[in-house]
Each structure stands twice: as C-alpha cells, then as structure tokens.
Amino acid sequence: MIYDVVIIGAGVSGSAIARELSKYKLNTVVLEKFEDVCSGTSKANSAIVHAGFDAAEGSLMAKLNVEGNEMMGDLAKDLDIPFKRNGSLVVCIHKEELPGLQDLYNRGIANGVKDLKILSKEEVLAMEPNLSDDVEGALYAPTGGIICPFMLNIAMAENANVNGVDFRFNTEVEGFRKEGDVWVVRTNNGEYRTRYVVNAAGVYADNLHNMVSADKIHITPRRGDYCLLDKEMGAHVSHTIFPQPTKLGKGVLVSPTIHGNLIVGPTAIDIEDKEGTATTAEGINDLITKAGMHVKNLPVGRKVITSFAGLRAHEDHHEFIIGECKDAPGFIDCSGIESPGLTSSPAIGRMVAGIVVDLAKPEKKSDWVGTRKGITNPSTLSLEERNALIKENPAYGQIICRCESISEGEILDAIHRPLGARSLDGVKRRVRAGMGRCQGGFCSPRVMEILHRELGIPVEKITKSGGESVIAPELSKNRKGGEE
C-alpha cells in the first residue's frame, strides 16, 4: 500500500502534526523508533508554556511560540489534560541589568505577547516572597503557563489515533529512496511507501534531512539537567521564575510543575551523543548554585526526588526549520525544534499539516472528533463521586502507587486506552504511578504484575521503557522449582 503521509517521530511535534492531519482523508502513519510516544525530548523538559518574549523578533520561533501559547488553553480543554497559566517572571538581580528587562518587554510586545508588565522590586516580592533579597525588578508575563508534557504529547497522539492515524513503534527509519513520485522509507521493520514524508525526528532530524538533501543542516544535542523536588516544596514559588536570558538560553528556572512538584533547571551543555541524557554531578551542582541566586531557601539537595536530563535539538541558526525540502519534493522538515517546541507544538502541527494539505489537497473528514476524555483522576473528585466510581469499578479503590495515590483503575485505563502503556515508564507518564517520592520503589513490582495480567507479557519480559530494559529477567530459584 502507498501511504499519503509518513511522519517520523512521535514526540510532541510528530503527534501534533498527526492530529492536525487526522482531520483530512489521508492515510497517515507515524513511525517511532521507541516503544511509546513521548520517548524523546518531549518527555524531559521544563514543561513551561512560554509566553513568547524570548525568541528573536520576526523569527518563526517567535511566531509559533505566541500562536502555540494562544492555542494551548482550548487544546488542553479539548484533550482533557492539565494546564495552568501560572504566569512567568523574569527576575533581575543586578541593577545595571534592569534595561535588559525593558529589552525583553519590547521584544515580547513586538512578538505579540499580551499583558506583559515590568514590576518593581516591591511588586514582585509581594507576588513571590521567596525570591532573592537582591531582586531589583521583574518582567511579568501572565500568559506563561505550566503543562503536563507527557499528556500533551500522549493526548495528541491518542486523538490522532482515534481519528485514524496509525502508529508503528519500535520502528526506526534507516533510509529513503525514491521510486518515481513515491518515497520508499526503509526501516528496521520493513519499508513504507508514501507520497509525503514529514521529518519530526527531534535531535535526529538533521541525520534524516541530510540523507535526502544537499543543503545540509546540523543539530547539536544541548543537554539540560534538572532536579525535581518533593511536593512539599511545590508551593515555594507559584510563578515560573526565570533569570535574565543569555546566549545559551533562558537559564535555570524554578517553577511549580502542573502536578505540584518544584522543578529546578535546566543546564545548557552542548554534547555529541544524541542519546546522552545522563546527568552529571557538575551539571546538577551548577543548577543548584544558579537557582539559588534568584530564589532563596531552596533546599535542592535535601528535597530532590530525582534528577534527569533532556536534549534540545539545537540547530546551528537557533531557528525552527519547517518546510518542504527544496531539493527533495514531498519531504517536509520539522526540525530544530528546541525550546519553545512544546509550547509551539499546536501551531507547529497546524503549520506542517497546512504544508502537506497544500501539496496533497485532501478532502476534510466530516466525522473528525477533536475532543478526548482523559484518564479519570479520582483525586479531583468529591468523596461521593469517588465512591460512585469505586462502586462501578472497584479497581479505583485499590491504591497501587502510594506516593501519588494512583489506583489500579487509573493504571488499567492507561494500559487499555488507544496507544496504551506497555512498560513501567509508559504507565508512569500516563498516570504518574512511580513518579512520586519513592520513585517507583513500592509500586513497580505491582505495576509489573498488572501489565503482566492485562497484556499477557511474562513478568520477566516486562520493561522499564521497551527494548532491552527488562526489569527482572529471570524467575527466582524458588519459582523455577529448584532445578538448580
């Protein structure tokens, strides 16, 4: 069969594009080399819905950031995912740098960011008492927000899938060939024939682009390390606190997460390895020092529950590269999607789909469903509602993850919904089992048991995140029946 569109990569970009394309009568498939959606950069970032004052005036990045930010409210509602406009503050701690705030403000206005305001020391301290005593003023962007990056990615993919887009996991694109007007996409799992290819491969997008185009691009994985703090610290600040930006990026922020933790990070370290998501002691120490310059009483060392790193797909010109490849008709790039890629994703989806639609001229579907019912979160329900839920499905009465109070019912939903979870991390990203204070110490054996029971995967084959990542590869002697 010949597909209309092959999308490479099931991160936020690929998933947003898939969802937009699912509005049309097109045969679309998403190829993802990992076992699940949201397995690349989209799973490890600050999860801030940026207001849009950072990106250079007139850049595509600035345009899509502001559009994406504006679209996020409705999208989050439609897809039933948590999102909050908690507002961002860029904090100045050196008097001589106050003009920098004005520059940012001006850029924001030029980019079309609404409701920006420069605050005095007194005003900003009244909003955030835990800011450093050195604070001199701040830029306030009420449209800045926080989101669940996993659910944004997963929900867009689910919704695309429900509307007919296929997803193939553990499928890595290895090369391309052209047969007339048809692209033949070679993977470890066979070939896919298609009229159009969309390259949304994150840090790998340059490799794929360079296979088909003489006009080379180059992406540097720019690592960002983070510390995630216990929910006890979740109210330490209520806005997202940024330092003033530098050449390397937006700097180390301190922010509540949508789930009530406090996130501190990221660093910005250029590396070569496109899978180099290992944190380093220097990186972590660096971000602890930097965070402490703007926010006081921050016990990162004592309250951290985990640290992690994500890789920005930094293209040499620090710009999103979106468009049909001039020397490879039908091959559409969506590359260089570094921050604010998460924020921009709804707008990226719309723009890339627009390019495909202009080329393919498909008909619109009449039965497209743009809404999705999220996984029921019992902790948002009243006692009565919760009891009704447990009565209807007793699995909601069995708590599996103690730290986050996640019930078996939620885990079953995560497994059985479209594009459901098949690994511990898959469950974790969908319902947070294992994302709390003990980081899965208690619940992982139980979640393994549930995955085994529901999917028929032997426990010894259950993985943390697909591939080789099995957790308990053998039966114990006792279970083997003492043959040893």
Partner 1 sequence: MQNYDIVVIGGGPAGLAAAAEAKRSGIDSILILERDHELGGILNQCIHNGFGLHTFKEELTGPEYAKRFMDQVFELGIEYKLNTMVIDITDSKVVTAMNKTDGMFQIQAKAVILAMGCRERPRGALNIPGYRPAGIFSAGTAQRLVNIEGYLPGREVVILGSGDIGLIMARRMTLEGAKVKVVA
* Token representation of residue 284: 């972590």
Q: Among residues 73, 112, 245, 397, which is the contact residue for partner 1, using CB under 8 A?
A: 397
Please tell me which residue in 50, 209, 236, 294 is annotated as part of the active site.
50
Distance CA 318, CA 414 (A): 36
Active-site residue flag, 50: yes
| DSSP secondary structure of 92-145 | E-SGGGHHHHHHHHHHHHHHT--S-EEEEHHHHHHH-TTB-TT--EEEEETT-E
Residue 202 binds which entry of ligand FAD, partner 1, none, with Cβ cut-offs from 5 to 8 Å by kind? ligand FAD
Distance CA 49, CA 341 (A): 9
Of the chain, the end-to-end C-alpha distance in Å amounts to 51
Q: Is the peptide bond before 340 cis (omega within 30 degrees of 0)?
A: yes
Residue 387 and residue 393 in contact, taking contact as beta carbons nearer than 8 Å: no
**Site membership for partner 1, residue 281 (CB under 8 A):** yes
**Site membership for partner 1, residue 367 (CB under 8 A):** no
Dihedral sign computed on CA atoms, order 165, 168, 172, 176: negative
**Site membership for ligand FAD, residue 224 (CB under 6 A):** yes
Q: Among residues 20, 54, 67, 338, which is the contact residue for ligand FAD, using CB under 6 A?
A: 338
Site for partner 1 in 435-464 (CB under 8 A): 437-442, 444-445, 448-449, 459-460, 463-464
Q: Among residues 138, 156, 200, 298, which is the contact residue for ligand FAD, using CB under 6 A?
A: 200
What's the residue count for the chain?
A: 484
Distance CA 336, CA 315 (A): 5
**Site membership for ligand FAD, residue 137 (CB under 6 A):** no
**Site membership for partner 1, residue 394 (CB under 8 A):** yes
Residue 249 C-beta: closest distance to partner 1, Å: 21
Distance CA 121, CA 111 (A): 26
Region near partner 1 per CB under 8 A, out of 164-172, 180-188, 250-258, 391-399: 391-399
| Contact flags string 46-75 toward ligand FAD, x per CB under 6 A | xxx-x-------------------------
Query: Strand, coil or helix: what is 331?
Result: strand
Region near partner 1 per CB under 8 A, out of 25-33, 73-81, 151-159, 272-280: 272-280
Residue nearest to ligand FAD (CB): 341
75: CB partners within 8 A, 6+ apart:
346
* # residues contacting ligand FAD (CB under 6 A): 38
Name beta bridge partners: 137: 92, 120
Site for ligand FAD in 256-285 (CB under 6 A): 266
The DSSP output letter for 364 is B
* # residues contacting partner 1 (CB under 8 A): 55
**Site membership for ligand FAD, residue 434 (CB under 6 A):** no
Site for ligand FAD in 8-37 (CB under 6 A): 8-14, 31-34
Dihedral angle at the C-alpha atoms of 146, 151, 153, 156, nearest 10 degrees?
A: -110
Q: Among residues 22, 39, 407, 463, which is the contact residue for ligand FAD, using CB under 6 A?
A: 39
- What are the strands, taking DSSP E only, across 326-468? 331-335, 399-401, 406-407
- What are the strands, taking DSSP E only, across 368-428? 399-401, 406-407
Residue 167 C-beta: closest distance to ligand FAD, Å: 11
Tokens 């390259």 correspond to what residue? Answer: 199
Residue 147 and residue 259 in contact, taking contact as beta carbons nearer than 8 Å: no
Distance CA 290, CA 282 (A): 12
The DSSP output letter for 465 is S
**Site membership for ligand FAD, residue 204 (CB under 6 A):** yes
* Token representation of residue 201: 């491969």
Q: Of 1 and 281, which has the nearer Cβ to partner 1? A: 281
Helices 341-360, 60-79: inter-axial angle, 10-degree rounding: 90
Residue 380 C-beta: closest distance to partner 1, Å: 13
Q: Among residues 241, 304, 334, 421, which is the contact residue for partner 1, using CB under 8 A?
A: 304
Determine how β-strand 48-49 pairs with β-strand 145-147: antiparallel
| Contact flags string 51-90 toward partner 1, x per CB under 8 A | ----------------------------------------
Q: Among residues 119, 131, 264, 311, which is the contact residue for ligand FAD, using CB under 6 A?
A: 311
- Return the active site residues: 50
Residues that bind ligand FAD (CB under 6 A): 8-14, 31-34, 39-42, 45-48, 50, 172-173, 200-202, 204, 224, 266, 310-312, 337-343
Q: Which spans of this chain sit near partner 1 (rule: CB under 8 A)? A: 227-228, 277-281, 283-284, 301, 304-308, 383, 386-387, 390-391, 394-395, 397-399, 402-403, 405, 437-442, 444-445, 448-449, 459-460, 463-465, 469-479, 484
